[in-house]
Structure 1
Amino acid sequence: MDIDVARVPRREPGMTAYEVVLSESQERMLALVAPEREAEVREICRRWGVEAAVIGRVTDDGLFRVREEGRVVAEVSVEVLTRGAPTYTPPAHLPPPPVVDPAAVADPRDRHEAGAALRRLLASPAIASKAWVYSQFDHMVQTNTVLRPGSGDAAVVRVPGSRQAIAAAVDGNGRYTALDPRRGAALAVAEAARNVSCVGGRPLGLTNCLNFGNPEHPEVYGQLSAAVDGLAEACRELGIPVVGGNVSLYNETGGRDIDPTPVVGVVGVLEDPSRLAVNHFTDPGQVILLLGPPRGFLGGSEYLKRVHGCVAGPLAPIDWEMERRVQELVRRAVADGTVRVAHDLAEGGLAVALSEMCFGGGSPAPGVPPAGAVLGAEVDLPSGWVHGCRVDELLFGEAPSRVLLATDPDGARLLAERASAWEVPCTAIGRVIREPRLRLRIGGRLWLDEPVGGLLRVWEEAIPCALATGG
């Protein structure tokens, strides 16, 4: 590569070639463009008001050459900068994580205890409404936002001049990764991709921010190494390339390393933004279907932490074939209009997901009514599901490859047929009702009977209240 730093746009005059090449700056990107498409790229940059300049050419001599107004100021072998660069592998150690003792975790005894657990989960910062945050920013820039925050599992933004739209989701779970770095990182990729699929998007690429403690500590380097392996595994399994990212190391609080927290962002495309899915019920009478395995796991769950004060594994396993099938099935159902409501089961499991789907997309800002109708749900899980399984695993357990869908009876029958052909579990578990109340039974026994308005209030007020009180 042969570049001339004199051609690089800069914010300050008088910068040396050394400073231009090595300084860091935001909002900059280097692009390799075929010569015959240079004019096309320049026109795109002009249309969006982005400064662009040709600073050099790709060469075949194996050298990275830097010029300043034509004068060579640096020249080094690309081999030395890449394969020949010095590397080292610090010592790594991964201590075994704590494992949950089911006997020490009390299962809810009745609907009162189950309801109290649900309210505590809805107040958790990981689950509660984030409207207090996003309402302070212009999330409708240039009016190209198709799905406002809270209305879908992923953001959907219109692409001006195109019939397509972009879907984007960000996910990460430090608790998961602290318990099992490889699987925790893989689960973050799976959930971000699933969220994009839930609005109807086809995942195309991934970026990441790897937040870890001091890599000179063997435990931290072990976490980092295993998490990278988990990210790579998930990206290979789902066919999603990593197109960028960054690493933040040496993060400590009070001399203690932070939980390893790989955060991943997945971007996908919607071919037709008029065909997308929201994450809340839209019409009474809709059939509610659970796509994927019925059972969740307590290991690493928000329920285990918030209700029982315990952080322990093991995490739920990942069946990559099932994950691929579930996501593809959802994408196709959204694309052909069979489904207009889809929400993945994440932190808090089934009970939290059902609650969120009753909230009408939540309020766009504190004190503002939800944009959609606040509805209720009448749910009855098969009695066979509880055989060999705890009630809290069904209600609050967490696992990948699970999505709640809502559609009309004809769509529900079509989905069941497709799911059967794809060997994906698909169970009609209830229906949407006009009365704003969440009732959930297991084999006929009532386990939840909560007014949606009360649940919504807990969910919406948790973060503003915590910030106001410093808690």
Structure 2
Amino acid sequence: MDKETIQAHKISDDEYKKILEILGREPNLLELGVFSAMWSEHCSYKSSKKYLNGFPTKAPWVLQGPGENAGVIDCGDGMAAVFKMESHNHPSFIEPFAGAATGVGGIFRDIFTMGARVEASMNSLRFGQVRGDDKTNRHQRYLVKGVVSGISHYGNCMGVPTVGGETTFDESFNGNILVNAFGLGICKSDEIFYAKAEGVGNPVMYVGSKTGRDGLGGAVMSSDSFNEENKSLRPTVQVGDPFAEKLLMEACLELFKCDYIVGIQDMGAAGLTSSSFEMAGRSGSGMRMYLDKVPMRESGMTPYELMLSESQERMLICAKKGCEDKIKAIFAKWDLDAEIIGEVTDTGVMELYWHGELAGSVPIAPLSEAAPMLDRPTSRPKYLDEIAKINLDNMPNISNQEAFELLIRDLNVANKSLIYDQYDSTVGTNVIKKAGKLGAAVMRIKENGKSIAMGMECNTRYNYVNPRIGAAAAVATSGRKVAMSGATPLAITDCLNYGNPQNPEVMWQFANGCEGIKEACAALNTPVVSGNVSLYNETDGISIQPTPSIVTVGVGDDANKSLDSEFNSAGVSVYLLGKTTGEFAGSLYMKAIANLCAGELKEIDYKAERALWDLVIEANKNRVLAFANSVGVGGIAITLAKMAAVSSIGFSGEIKFDDGRFVFDESFSRAVVGVKDAIKFEELAKKYGVEFIKIGLSGGDEFILNDIKMDLKELQNIYFSEFAAVIKSED
């Protein structure tokens, strides 16, 4: 095999030596393609595996942790929630509509492959600077429009509500946007399906859409940094068909009611290669596949293309022998292909045939066991010492009123109705919180009357300032959002987006991010049940800010008792819970008024965090709260202002701080609650050891907090119109 071909497949010299050892000979092009895909960063986690070991993954309510298509938690009364989050960053930067759409389609397949109907979608989006008129700003606005259109197209056509998400902006994402898609489904806890292929002689069946040449090399492409040459790799981006996926989901859910299959696997990254090797590998089996039997939509396709295509809306099934015709009948009813393309063997080898001739042969276990696990060098970033010296004393001297008007216009605060109005957020009749509401997304589980709450979070500035505490804060804040809805946080899924792992400083950020997640999940009792790693988010040597996106999923005992996250009536006493300690590191205040991301983060007090959750959950059960909301970016001033804007109810209050600017401080473990029964609530707060202070009343037609004042209509006009005005500025 010539060096040029090996390098084109991103195979290192050491990896090629390992391939020679495994095969005992030179690989042919098909076999090299298989190794290239399976050992890519995207599929093998070779740079990250070392640090993922040790994540807390178990709890009495965890039915399935990492290692399957998605994680599963017990929701009580025989019901389970199936969920996961994945990245589609590189494809979305190259082709925003198709990249984002197929990211949504891929995560949906991970959910219904497990036997659950997909009930909810969320997305975490990161873009560069969109405000301004230079080429970069215009391109970022184009990417926003394309990504949002792709997400809405796929989700709306599938009939899955997009119930929440987050969209933020920072210049570090100018060269690499992030599109992280989350999906959640509901099923019976004893009807979960797994990705396995066992039972010698059992047929292997291909179902779904036909295979084309789209997405070729997608997993390998997503395992490399961007430069001018590979930004135009459109052929590596898959093309999705949500109507075909809707049919595929319905066919699979019908199939799952019958006892016809042993296992099922989505053909995601690396397509037929990853699905076949993973199914056989999990079962310790071998597999024989006849690639000329694969349904094709293009003529002249080769075994190499068939194994590595990432065409969408396809599944691989290990069927029970004798059930083939019944399975074909189900898929024919839904107008989908279903073909027998192989069988399970006991050889431990993947044998690939093409028109009766052996085209490739790869031992399955050695390929997996010998997958590289790199111990890349790490180095604490030099910039940390420089930014640690910067604090509130270095900020420009401006009034709180000026600062407030700057922050409320910041696009990281502004309402994103331009985005969520494009999503169908109510289809299915299970959604409790309407689009645009603050806090966690909440849905009902009709089968048992409980609620599912989903909190999504990651502050990339915190992660830039301190990757360990920043990642831990994402876990804590996403859990706090869930608790503020009245639900109990139970588990997380993550999507770990970082720069080039060949840069020791990036690897240090990643290693510390993983440590932060481990310590927070252990302390808060919210284990990791699924996730994804996306590295090489770098263009021309510039990496993104570390972005460990977290979604916490929790269960509420009664869907009818879900708490609002904004004011819901006038005259309600508003309390601030938790300690305000003057936390401005990585804050929106610092970024908005000085264009700096700097400072030193304080450690998170996990006992105080969990006590806050438990207090609000119990207070809600006792019906003493009207609403609850986590204090987020921009501090108490911006949190209260958003609550007023969304509810169309004003606020008047005063808080005495050591420094007047503390209204913008971003201390951890704080919340705003509306109290209906002060005596009972304050007793509970003392029981849990949570600091509290009454700060004002909801109501009126103004927003007033200390020396900040704004007419409610003006506040709403800014909050609801600023983002759309910027994105539509060239329409």
Q: Judging changes above 3 Å, is the alpha-carbon distance between structure 1 residues 147 and 13 closer, same or farther for their aligned structure 2 residues? A: closer
Q: Distance in 2 between matches of 1:128 and 1:168?
A: 21
| Residue 455 (str. 1) matches residue 712 (str. 2) | no
Q: Which of residues 440, 448, 470 is equivalent to 2:705?
A: 440
C-alpha offsets along residues 18-56 of structure 1, whole Å, 9 cap, x if unaligned?
A: x9xx999999xxxxxxxxxxxxxx999339999983239
For 1:171-186, list aligned pairs within 5 A. 171-186=457-472
Report SS of the residue matched to 1:54.
strand
Q: Which of residues 469, 484, 487 is equivalent to 1:198?
A: 484
* Structure 1 residue 81, shift from structure 2 partner: 3.7
Q: Distance in 1 between matches of 2:621 and 2:260?
A: 37
Q: Distance in 1 between matches of 2:378 and 2:538?
A: 18
Q: Judging changes above 3 Å, is the alpha-carbon distance between structure 1 residues 259 and 422 closer, same or farther for their aligned structure 2 residues? A: same
RMSD: 3.3
* Structure 1 residue 176, shift from structure 2 partner: 1.1
* Structure 1 residue 12, shift from structure 2 partner: 5.0
| Residue 246 (str. 1) matches residue 441 (str. 2) | no
* Structure 1 residue 94, shift from structure 2 partner: 1.5
Q: Judging changes above 3 Å, is the alpha-carbon distance between structure 1 residues 332 and 91 closer, same or farther for their aligned structure 2 residues? A: same
Maintained 8 Å contact 2:391/2:585: no
Which residue pairs with 2:685 in the alignment?
A: 419
Maintained 8 Å contact 2:286/2:344: no
Q: Which of residues 298, 301, 312 is equivalent to 2:584?
A: 298
| Residue 404 (str. 1) matches residue 667 (str. 2) | no
| Residue 315 (str. 1) matches residue 315 (str. 2) | no
Q: Distance in 1 between matches of 2:442 and 2:409?
A: 26
* Structure 1 residue 294, shift from structure 2 partner: 2.7
Q: Which of residues 330, 343, 346 is equivalent to 1:69?
A: 343
Which amino acid is the alignment partner of residue 45 of structure 1? L
Which amino acid is the alignment partner of residue 104 of structure 1? N
**Structure 1 unaligned blocks of 5 or more:** 28-41, 363-371, 442-446
* Structure 1 residue 273, shift from structure 2 partner: 1.0
Which residue pairs with 1:218 in the alignment?
A: 504
Question: TM-score with structure 1 length normalisation?
Answer: 0.81
| Residue 106 (str. 1) matches residue 375 (str. 2) | no
Which residue pairs with 1:157 in the alignment?
A: 443
Worse-matched range after superposition: 137-146 or 412-421: 412-421
Count of residues in Structure 1 that have an aligned counterpart in Structure 2: 420
Q: Distance in 2 between matches of 1:102 and 1:331?
A: 35
Maintained 8 Å contact 1:358/1:436: no
Maintained 8 Å contact 1:45/1:52: no
Q: Distance in 2 between matches of 1:123 and 1:6?
A: 59
Q: Judging changes above 3 Å, is the alpha-carbon distance between structure 1 residues 440 and 43 closer, same or farther for their aligned structure 2 residues? A: same
Q: Distance in 1 between matches of 2:522 and 2:698?
A: 38
Q: Judging changes above 3 Å, is the alpha-carbon distance between structure 1 residues 51 and 265 closer, same or farther for their aligned structure 2 residues? A: farther
Which residue pairs with 2:163 in the alignment?
A: none
| Residue 469 (str. 1) matches residue 729 (str. 2) | yes
* Structure 1 residue 275, shift from structure 2 partner: 0.5
Report SS of the residue matched to 2:604.
coil
* Structure 1 residue 181, shift from structure 2 partner: 0.6
Query: Which gives a bigger RCO, structure 1 or 2 (Cα 8 Å, sep 6+)?
Result: 1
Q: Judging changes above 3 Å, is the alpha-carbon distance between structure 1 residues 14 and 167 closer, same or farther for their aligned structure 2 residues? A: closer
Q: Distance in 2 between matches of 1:202 and 1:48?
A: 30
Report SS of the residue matched to 1:126.
coil
Maintained 8 Å contact 1:93/1:219: yes
Q: Judging changes above 3 Å, is the alpha-carbon distance between structure 1 residues 74 and 273 closer, same or farther for their aligned structure 2 residues? A: same
Q: Judging changes above 3 Å, is the alpha-carbon distance between structure 1 residues 201 and 296 closer, same or farther for their aligned structure 2 residues? A: farther
Which amino acid is the alignment partner of residue 610 of structure 2? R
Q: Distance in 2 between matches of 1:131 and 1:249?
A: 30
* Structure 1 residue 143, shift from structure 2 partner: 1.9
Maintained 8 Å contact 1:214/1:220: yes
Maintained 8 Å contact 2:463/2:547: yes
**Structure 2 unaligned blocks of 5 or more:** 1-195, 221-236, 242-249, 265-278, 289-341, 350-362
C-alpha offsets along residues 171-218 of structure 1, whole Å, 9 cap, x if unaligned?
A: 112111111111110001111000011111111221111111110011
Worse-matched range after superposition: 396-405 or 147-156: 147-156
Report SS of the residue matched to 1:203.
strand
Q: Distance in 1 between matches of 2:537 and 2:730?
A: 23
Q: Judging changes above 3 Å, is the alpha-carbon distance between structure 1 residues 51 and 238 closer, same or farther for their aligned structure 2 residues? A: farther
| Residue 53 (str. 1) matches residue 261 (str. 2) | yes
Which residue pairs with 1:147 in the alignment?
A: 433
Maintained 8 Å contact 1:322/1:424: yes
Report SS of the residue matched to 1:146.
coil
Report SS of the residue matched to 2:642.
helix
* Structure 1 residue 466, shift from structure 2 partner: 1.4
Which residue pairs with 2:410 in the alignment?
A: 124
Q: Calculate percent identity across the aligned residue pairs.
A: 28
Q: Distance in 1 between matches of 2:260 and 2:443?
A: 24
Question: TM-score with structure 2 length normalisation?
Answer: 0.53
Q: Which of residues 262, 275, 279 is equivalent to 2:561?
A: 275
Q: Distance in 2 between matches of 1:437 and 1:279?
A: 19
Maintained 8 Å contact 2:441/2:453: yes
Report SS of the residue matched to 1:189.
helix
Report SS of the residue matched to 2:262.
coil
Which residue pairs with 2:304 in the alignment?
A: none
Q: Judging changes above 3 Å, is the alpha-carbon distance between structure 1 residues 273 and 47 closer, same or farther for their aligned structure 2 residues? A: farther
Maintained 8 Å contact 2:628/2:673: yes
